[in-house]
Each structure stands twice: as C-alpha cells, then as structure tokens.
Amino acid sequence: MDHSKHIPLRSDELTEANLDGATVYGPDDSKIGSVAHLHGAGANAQVIVDVGGFLGIGAKPVALDVSSLNFMRDESGDVHATSLMTKDQLKDLPEHHH
C-alpha cells in the first residue's frame, strides 16, 4: 500500500466518529488491529485498538496515545492508521479495561 498519496488527518479530525473502526497497519503493511473507541479527542486522545483476533473474537484491547499512530485518508476517503509497532509488540502491552 502506498501511503504517500494518503492525506494525514488534522488534529481536529481525530474524533471517535472519524476513527471508529479504522484499520491499523504495522510496519510491514500487515493489518494488526482496528480502532475500538477513543477516550477524548484531538492530539491528546487515547486510542483503544483491538489487536489480533478474528472478527472481533479473541482480540486484545490496548490503549495507545493518538500521537503514536499516523491516521490518514486513502483515495476513497477511508480512514486508516499506520503504526511503527508490530502486532506482537502491541499484544505485549497491558490489556485495556473499560
């Protein structure tokens, strides 16, 4: 996937409405999870990402600072994110409890 053509989201676009369900890709462009929900909005938000699992079963929710993810829109306007962390690194984070 060529992310260079994708448009980064501005901090005022970092809202639950825009990010909910966004796919998160790792360093090798593999899908590592999806956004479950947000705590807060904008540059200081915490993003809860469901890592791994299949169709939401067995996924592990972890909390990340929104700044640790690069959210962008692709050519069709769909929001996704890239992370420098691998799926295994995310799975090693403590589980997020609501």
CATH number at residue 55: 2.30.30.240
Asked if residue 62 belongs to a domain, the reply is yes
CB 19 within 8 A of CB 35: yes
Residue recorded with tokens 């962008």: 72
The predicted model scores a pTM of 0.91
Asked if residue 97 belongs to a domain, the reply is no
57 has a pLDDT exceeding 90: no
* Structural domain range at position 84: 7-92
Q: What residues are paired with 46 via a beta bridge?
A: 39, 65
Structure tokens at 42: 């904008």
Asked if residue 2 belongs to a domain, the reply is no
* Residue scoring higher pLDDT (96 or 2): 96
Asked if residue 25 belongs to a domain, the reply is yes
Structure tokens at 49: 């990402």
Asked if residue 23 belongs to a domain, the reply is yes
Asked if residue 79 belongs to a domain, the reply is yes
Structural domain count of the chain: 1
Which percentage of the chain shows pLDDT scores above 70? 97
Mean pLDDT of the region 66-95: 95
Mean pLDDT of the region 23-29: 94
The sign of the CA dihedral 51, 46, 18, 72 is negative
91 has a pLDDT exceeding 90: yes
The DSSP secondary-structure symbol of 95 reads P
